[in-house]
Amino acid sequence: MLLKFVVMNNGNMKKRIAILIFLITVLLIPSVTFQSSSTFKVTSQYLASMPYPNSNSAVVYYNGEIYVIGGTINPNKVWIYSNGSWYSGPNLPFNIISAAAIICDNSIYVIGGYNSSGLIPYVLKLNGNSWVIVSNDMPDPAYDVMAFAYNGKIYVIGGENTTSPAELYFPPSNVIRVFYPSNDSWSIVGYMPVPAVHGAYIFNGTDLIIASGYIGYSSYTNDILIYNPQTNQWQILNGVLPFYIQGGAMAYYRGVMFLVGGVIYTAGSGGVSNAIYAYYSGNLERVGYLPDAVYDSGYTQVRNILYLAGGKNSQFSQVSTLQEVFFNFPPLSPKITSYVAGNESVSLSWTPVSLASGYEIVYWNDMGFNNSINVGNVTSYTINGLQDGIPYYFEVIAYNSIGYSSPSNVIEVIPASVPNPPIITLVKYGNDNVTIYWSPPEFTGGYPILGYYIIVKEQGNLIKSFLVNSTNLTITNLAPNVTYDILLYALNKLGNSSPYVITVTPITKAKIIAFISKLQYGFLVNWSTDFPANITLELYSQNGSVILLINNVKGNSYLFRVPQGNYTLIIVASNSAGISKYITNIIYYLPPSSPQVSLVGLGNNLYIEWNKVNSALVYLVYLNNSIVYEGPSTSVVTNISNGTYLIKVIAVNPAGASSPAIALLHYSGDYVTIVHMNIINISTVKIASASFGNDSSLSLEQSVTIILLTIMILLSIAIVTRSRNSGNEW
């Protein structure tokens, strides 16, 4: 009978652990090697001691270092293993046990977990030397979740979503959560078919693989669950495991799933295991052992190595061992990437492959010759002693202590049969054309070069072809911003070389678009071009004199601080395709301000004067809406007689007209009254009149007129004062 219980320590909830009675002996070997019946070998060893015993930590490999984050002991600590020693990393903002740590977009994220306060709904991100909370609303918070990064997103699946001892009996979470680091948000995209937790899991780059785990009601599953995040679909391999696993580690390499350590048991027996199992081709095989039997270790896989940090032993005590497991396979097949025929020789290059300790070259011909050369751990080699004009076949095989790879691709090369490819030395871009220059091949194949064959392709389709004897060619009528492949061959009497391939994207003269903004202190020019180009700015005055000339302007805007006037602006864009120009005449004026006017009456003449307004070119003077003056002067004399006159003075330039200076003038014999119609700067009006007779006394009619004019002046003053107080013009 299997008994389950929950351990409480310092307020921190520990995960479920089965109290298992060992009915079998668990091997504890310091450093072991196990050769499986398949073509791989598993080795393991003790790597280092951690600063203190710990379990239920989150472990990631980041920038060549191993991060051990949180855990049962000192759950706010982060320790980093680098170059054989440990150093303390940035502390967590709070205690975290049984969280998940993920690398996404070159950043460390810590998700979920629990502490004495309960479940943790936070997502932490390592920002420099401190942790930042980027989310606090994890859906269905849980610990011991299965998390991985895929396509810029973090998938967080399942987990234990309660810290209540009574509720641990029930099934764990089955939610498939997705965290989006781009905007720190969450969504739920589905659910697990079986809510398994505390088993072992790994993400192999395309699929999440889960082995065994607790499913609720004191039951475990011996299924293997496989989840594909791209399709959001599950696959269940029913009952493929002959036992149950709790707190184990998992790795995946070269199509083989490895189960490492954990509590492994059947219906009647089990215990903390140091066994390493491999599952492949539908079979489960024990292939090695850990130095220390552990469960609830933090673990991470780096290429063909699995690291296990801490955990608990068969006495359920924390351990401080850092162990590593190596999954040794024969190398993968290399690929021949280039070959060059020489005089009685062939030079090969190939891709390096992981786990290879050396390479062999196998070569033969159709005349019964075959040979092989062990060239050691290099990725290029020249085979000499070949016969010119005879086809040879070559392949490369990688090897290590486990075995040999499959052969590489086979290539056929004829020494001294065709020339080596010519080498393109220069590419010049013109206006919708490209000129290429090349040097002849160093090896001509033993025969004179007859010419060069050039092929132009667009997306694999033949566009143009040329046969020339020169070592340069201009290819015209190419579409700008379209990518072309140019293949250059050298020819001799036996055929053509392999191609020298370049990719070109033709350009054309840059078209210029410009926008001009008139400001108080100058005018701002913004421009853009449809192709990269060097920009030159030229500014000329109205008479053609150069005001400003700037070469190689950086950016796409420039502020011309110049006085108001007429200018000619030229923007020159130059690139290898040629020169284009943008020419525009700029009338840079701002509307002038209103003049300040002074009126002087002398007899029947009215003298109108005003100040010179900055940037004004012309002034307009109206008398009763009829223009009496238009010109640059600042004064005018006009004849008046008895009556009322509306006087307006307006300053004008190419940008527009000012608001008018307005006055209402009433003239009656010797008496003139000025009525201000709006708020403008008008100086004191001086009136001079001729004398009519010697009698200085006023007639009744004159007295009445004076009284009426006085009333009109007072009303005008009142209206003006009121308008000023209200901030409006009349």
Q: What is the pLDDT of residues 410-444, one digit of tens each?
A: 999 988 778 889 999 999 988 889 999 999 998 88
The pLDDT of residue 31: 33
Residue 189 lies in a domain: yes
SS3 labels along 468-501: ECCCEEEECCCCCCCCEEEEEEEEECCEECCCEE
Please determine, for residue 719, whether its predicted confidence score (pLDDT) is greater than 90: no
Least confident piece of the model among 260-269, 351-360, 705-714:
705-714
Please determine, for residue 653, whether its predicted confidence score (pLDDT) is greater than 70: yes
For residues 479 and 517, membership in a common domain is answered with: no
Reduce the DSSP state of residue 22 to 3 states and report it: coil
For residues 362 and 308, membership in a common domain is answered with: no
The pLDDT of residue 341: 85
- Residue range 200-208: average pLDDT? 95
Burial of 591: CB neighbours in 10 Å, binned 0-12, 13-18, 19+? middle
**What span, in angstroms and rounded, lies between the C-alpha atoms of 333 and 404?**
9
**What span, in angstroms and rounded, lies between the C-alpha atoms of 79 and 88?**
5
Residue 268 lies in a domain: yes
| Whole-Å CA distances, 147 to 58, 153, 688 | 11, 10, 100
**What span, in angstroms and rounded, lies between the C-alpha atoms of 621 and 648?**
6
Burial of 459: CB neighbours in 10 Å, binned 0-12, 13-18, 19+? exposed
The pLDDT of residue 602: 78
- The larger pLDDT score, comparing residue 379 to residue 715, is at 379
* Cα 606 off chain centre by: 75
Reduce the DSSP state of residue 621 to 3 states and report it: strand
For residues 441 and 540, membership in a common domain is answered with: no
For residues 406 and 430, membership in a common domain is answered with: no
Residue 371 lies in a domain: yes
Residue 701 — φ and ψ, nearest 5°?
-65, -40
Q: What is the pLDDT of residues 241-254, one digit of tens each?
A: 999 999 999 999 99
Give yes or no for a contact between 445 and 492, defined as CB atoms under 8 angstroms apart: yes
Give yes or no for a contact between 174 and 195, defined as CB atoms under 8 angstroms apart: yes
- Residue range 113-141: average pLDDT? 96
For residues 155 and 263, membership in a common domain is answered with: yes
- The larger pLDDT score, comparing residue 682 to residue 223, is at 223
Q: What is the mean pLDDT of the chain?
A: 86
Give yes or no for a contact between 80 and 109, defined as CB atoms under 8 angstroms apart: no
Q: Where on the phi/psi map is residue 628: left (φ > 0), alpha (ψ -120 to 50), or beta?
A: alpha
Q: Any idea what the Cα angle at residue 130 is, between residues 129 and 131, rounded to 5°?
A: 140
The pair of structure tokens assigned to 125 is 């991100």
The pLDDT of residue 2: 30
**pLDDT band at 117; cut points 50, 70, 90:** very high
The pair of structure tokens assigned to 568 is 């000619």
For residues 173 and 227, membership in a common domain is answered with: yes
Please determine, for residue 702, whether its predicted confidence score (pLDDT) is greater than 50: no
The pLDDT of residue 713: 56
**What span, in angstroms and rounded, lies between the C-alpha atoms of 503 and 458?**
10
Q: Which of 504, 524, 542 is the last residue of a domain?
A: 504
**What span, in angstroms and rounded, lies between the C-alpha atoms of 29 and 16?**
27
Residue 180 lies in a domain: yes
- Residue range 525-533: average pLDDT? 91
Please determine, for residue 234, whether its predicted confidence score (pLDDT) is greater than 70: yes
Element (H, E) at 306: strand 305-309
Burial of 697: CB neighbours in 10 Å, binned 0-12, 13-18, 19+? exposed
The set of residues, in sequence order, having a beta carbon less than 8 Å from that of 519 and lying 6+ positions away, is: 559
Among all chains, which residue has been given the structure tokens 């791989």? 40
Residue 418 lies in a domain: no
62-66: Cβ within 8 A, 24+ apart: 62/103, 62/108, 66/300, 66/307, 66/309, 66/322
The pLDDT of residue 678: 41
- Residue range 558-574: average pLDDT? 92
* Cα 121 off chain centre by: 28
Please say whether the dihedral angle defined by the alpha carbons of residues 194, 198, 204 and 205, taken in this order, is positive or negative.
positive
Q: Using a pLDDT cut of 90, give the percent of the chain over it.
A: 65
Domain extent at residue 166? 3-328
For residues 583 and 516, membership in a common domain is answered with: yes
For residues 601 and 568, membership in a common domain is answered with: no
Rounding to the nearest 10 degrees, give the CA dihedral for residues 597, 600, 605, 610: -20
Least confident piece of the model among 302-311, 418-427, 456-465, 592-601:
592-601
The pair of structure tokens assigned to 47 is 């790597």
We report the CATH number of the domain holding residue 643 as 2.60.40.10
Among all chains, which residue has been given the structure tokens 């059947």? 266
**pLDDT band at 636; cut points 50, 70, 90:** very high
The pLDDT of residue 22: 33
Among all chains, which residue has been given the structure tokens 């678009």? 513
Q: pTM for this structure?
A: 0.54
Q: What is the pLDDT of residues 38-72, one digit of tens each?
A: 588 999 999 999 999 999 999 999 999 999 999 99
Residue 319 lies in a domain: yes
The set of residues, in sequence order, having a beta carbon less than 8 Å from that of 669 and lying 6+ positions away, is: 642, 689, 692, 702
The pLDDT of residue 670: 55
Instruction: Provide the 8-state DSSP code for 696.
Output: -
Element (H, E) at 703: helix 700-726
Number of domains in the chain: 5
- Residue range 519-532: average pLDDT? 89
Rounding to the nearest 10 degrees, give the CA dihedral for residues 414, 416, 419, 421: 60
For residues 270 and 369, membership in a common domain is answered with: no
Please determine, for residue 229, whether its predicted confidence score (pLDDT) is greater than 50: yes
For residues 582 and 713, membership in a common domain is answered with: no
Give yes or no for a contact between 643 and 671, defined as CB atoms under 8 angstroms apart: no
- Residue range 489-515: average pLDDT? 91
Q: What is the pLDDT of residues 399-419, one digit of tens each?
A: 999 999 999 999 999 887 788
**What span, in angstroms and rounded, lies between the C-alpha atoms of 421 and 83?**
47
Reduce the DSSP state of residue 116 to 3 states and report it: coil
The pLDDT of residue 715: 63
Burial of 520: CB neighbours in 10 Å, binned 0-12, 13-18, 19+? exposed
- Residue range 624-635: average pLDDT? 92
For residues 342 and 310, membership in a common domain is answered with: no
Buried b (16+ CB within 10 A) or exposed e, 137-157: ebbbbbbbbbbbbbeebbbbb
Least confident piece of the model among 220-224, 525-529, 721-725:
721-725
CA nearest to 660, candidates 636, 625, 615: 625
The pair of structure tokens assigned to 78 is 């982060």
What is the length of the chain?
A: 730
Burial of 706: CB neighbours in 10 Å, binned 0-12, 13-18, 19+? middle
The pLDDT of residue 708: 56
Please determine, for residue 105, whether its predicted confidence score (pLDDT) is greater than 60: yes
The pLDDT of residue 486: 96
The set of residues, in sequence order, having a beta carbon less than 8 Å from that of 478 and lying 6+ positions away, is: 432, 433, 434, 456, 484, 506
The set of residues, in sequence order, having a beta carbon less than 8 Å from that of 679 and lying 6+ positions away, is: 720, 723, 724, 729
Q: Which of 282, 302, 328 is the last residue of a domain?
A: 328
- The larger pLDDT score, comparing residue 685 to residue 242, is at 242
* Cα 309 off chain centre by: 34
Residue 543 lies in a domain: yes
Q: What is the pLDDT of residues 249-288, one digit of tens each?
A: 999 999 999 999 999 988 667 899 999 999 988 889 999 9
**pLDDT band at 697; cut points 50, 70, 90:** very low
We report the CATH number of the domain holding residue 139 as 2.120.10.80
Please determine, for residue 392, whether its predicted confidence score (pLDDT) is greater than 70: yes
Please determine, for residue 671, whether its predicted confidence score (pLDDT) is greater than 60: no
Residue 509 — φ and ψ, nearest 5°?
-55, 140
**pLDDT band at 717; cut points 50, 70, 90:** low
CA nearest to 178, candidates 106, 120, 237, 104: 104
**pLDDT band at 589; cut points 50, 70, 90:** confident
Q: Which of 588, 606, 632 is the last residue of a domain?
A: 588
- Residue range 154-166: average pLDDT? 92
For residues 404 and 268, membership in a common domain is answered with: no
Q: What is the pLDDT of residues 5-22, one digit of tens each?
A: 233 333 333 334 433 323
**What span, in angstroms and rounded, lies between the C-alpha atoms of 393 and 160?**
60
Residue 356 lies in a domain: yes
The set of residues, in sequence order, having a beta carbon less than 8 Å from that of 145 and lying 6+ positions away, is: 100, 111, 112, 156, 157, 158, 159, 173
Please determine, for residue 302, whether its predicted confidence score (pLDDT) is greater than 90: yes
Buried b (16+ CB within 10 A) or exposed e, 82-99: eeeebeebeebebbbbbb
- The larger pLDDT score, comparing residue 601 to residue 449, is at 449
Q: Where on the phi/psi map is residue 367: left (φ > 0), alpha (ψ -120 to 50), or beta?
A: alpha
Give yes or no for a contact between 583 and 527, defined as CB atoms under 8 angstroms apart: no
- Residue range 384-411: average pLDDT? 92
